[in-house]
Amino acid sequence: MSVLNASRNPALARVGALALPRVSTSVAVAAMSAISLAPGLLPRSAVLQGAFSGLLVAAGLLAMWAFSAVARRLVSDSVKARFDEHHWRISALGLSTAAAAIAVFAASSWQNSLRAAMGAPSAGLLHWAEAGCIAALTALGLWGIGVGISKALRWMGFARSVGALVMGVLGVQLVVGPAVWNGLSDSFDSSNAYIDTALTQPLSASVSGSPESLISWTSMGAEGRKFVATDPREDSVRVYAGVDSSPNAASRAALAVSELDRVGGFARNSVVVAVPTGSGWIDTHAVDGIEQRFGGDVAIVGQQYSDAPSWATFLFSRDEAEDSATALFTAVGTHIASMPTEERPDLFLYGQSLGAVGGSAALMEKSPTTACDVLWAGPPAGATRTEGATVLANTSDPVVWWSPALATQKPDLSRAVQDAPIPQWIPGVTFLQTTADMLGSLGVPAGHGHRYGTDQGTALGTCS
């Protein structure tokens, strides 16, 4: 059969038409690819970019499928008959491919400008090829799951399908949830496990965590053990109460104050209340900076309120951070106020990320001792009071940008220092981009993203 005859065969013509994606499919893929490749704040790995693009493309396909299903019922048969679907499919595919190519080219240029500013190698062709493959697999996988669920629901009927769906969600939470949760937590500080196994319990009675300590070594948790035992500066004091050290925030604060008194923390010239992040982490750069700032004549005390990642605590348990910081800051301030005036140390308050949110709440409560200075590093947008505080914020830090208001309003970067190119704010799109960047906010050198240096301590002011 000749090609000409084949082209006149209606059956073969229909097969050829079906080989092309629908107009709605081409539009959805191109639009969501462009959104996923819009300028972000941080360099992205091929895995993160691919997964993000694939997720948005799958969501776009689902939305377009729902829209098309409704539109087909509303459009009359006479209009459908005049519609040259094959022609429009070819046109849509060509324009969408061109748009996607332009988006990739622009994204490559933007990503390389970010990488240059942060001292990272450029992203080449292999990077984008890998990201494209991951995006395709992610989108197809999610789409296939969606189609499978849709067919299963139709087959099972409404009542049974709702029950099965509920059981499925519970199963995913029980089986997959803990693994994903732990994976995200580990990705934020992958060195914790190694560092913790390398640490040994202090033996000196004058050190917190020793056998004579009021706070047991095991109850401090991995972050607490790392904080008290990792190369403290001579004469400095570190005290940490873990979530297992005492049942609630108030009793942990009282225990931390007693331990601080036992090891001579209140005999130092300065006391810094350091509010940890959601996982209990106190940045080692901040600790080094604080001890450098005060020449070792300082005591640093922290209190854990959660062992979940900061983003999870910020979304679901922010009250825990606020209650814990308030309890500790008030307890330390009360003890200092009870001391003879000439013996009272200067009081300071420090918090990074969610720690800044907790510390900000602590300042709202009346304390018998006023802090000489307050420092927030990477404070979450719209959740921290910055008046009168020393603020360290990078323009490339997604934590400083992210809030629900970002979808409709430009971020306030008036207290941030520009460390990399700043993307143009696009309603809705910038919110999605910043949300994706949150996952890689700690995977950059200090001074970029959500990583801050020793100036977290050295920038603390003095008592007036």
Please, what is the angle between helix 10-18 and helix 85-117, to 10°? 20
Amino acid at 435: T
Query: Mean pLDDT across the chain, nearest whole number?
Result: 85
Same domain, 230 and 81: no
Same domain, 227 and 164: no
* Within a domain: 129: yes
Structure tokens at 130: 């890998």
**% residues pLDDT > 70 (the chain):** 83
Edge-to-edge order in the sheet of strand 390-392: 237-241, 298-303, 270-275, 346-352, 373-377, 390-392
Total domains, the chain = 2
Same domain, 143 and 267: no
* Within a domain: 379: yes
Structure tokens at 73: 């019922």
pLDDT at 70 over 60: yes
* Within a domain: 430: no
Same domain, 292 and 372: yes
Q: What is the pLDDT of residues 175-205, one digit of tens each?
A: 434 433 333 333 334 334 344 556 889 888 8
Backbone angles phi, psi at 283, to 5 degrees: -55, 125
Same domain, 156 and 221: no
Backbone angles phi, psi at 427, to 5 degrees: -50, 130
Amino acid at 140: L
Q: How far is CA 144 from each of CA 1, 141, 147, 151, rounded to the nearest angstrom?
A: 37, 5, 5, 11
Same domain, 284 and 382: yes
Partnered with residue 303 across adjacent β-strands are 241
What distance in Å separates the CA atoms of residue 295 and residue 438, rounded to the nearest whole number?
A: 35
**pLDDT value of residue 183:** 36
* Within a domain: 434: no
* Within a domain: 12: yes
Same domain, 111 and 260: no
Same domain, 151 and 222: no
* Within a domain: 438: no
* Within a domain: 408: no
pLDDT at 155 over 80: no
Same domain, 125 and 251: no
Going by the DSSP 8-state scheme, the letter that residue 353 receives in this structure is T
* Within a domain: 399: no
- Computed on alpha carbons and rounded to an integer, the radius of gyration of the chain in Å comes to 28
Please say which residue of 188, 218, 238 terminates a domain: 188
Please say which residue of 188, 222, 241 terminates a domain: 188
pTM of the predicted structure, to 2 decimals = 0.82
Same domain, 96 and 178: yes
pLDDT at 21 over 50: yes
| 449 Rama sector, left if φ>0, alpha if ψ -120 to 50, beta otherwise | left
Give the CATH number, domain containing residue 234.
Answer: 3.40.50
Determine contact, residues 358/328, Cβ cutoff 8 Å. no
What distance in Å separates the CA atoms of residue 439 and residue 381, rounded to the nearest whole number?
A: 16
Same domain, 283 and 144: no
Domain range for 57 is 3-188
Structure tokens at 340: 């003879």
Amino acid at 201: Q
Please say which residue of 134, 160, 188 terminates a domain: 188
Least confident of 61-70, 83-92, 225-234: 83-92
Same domain, 306 and 454: yes
Determine contact, residues 441/449, Cβ cutoff 8 Å. yes
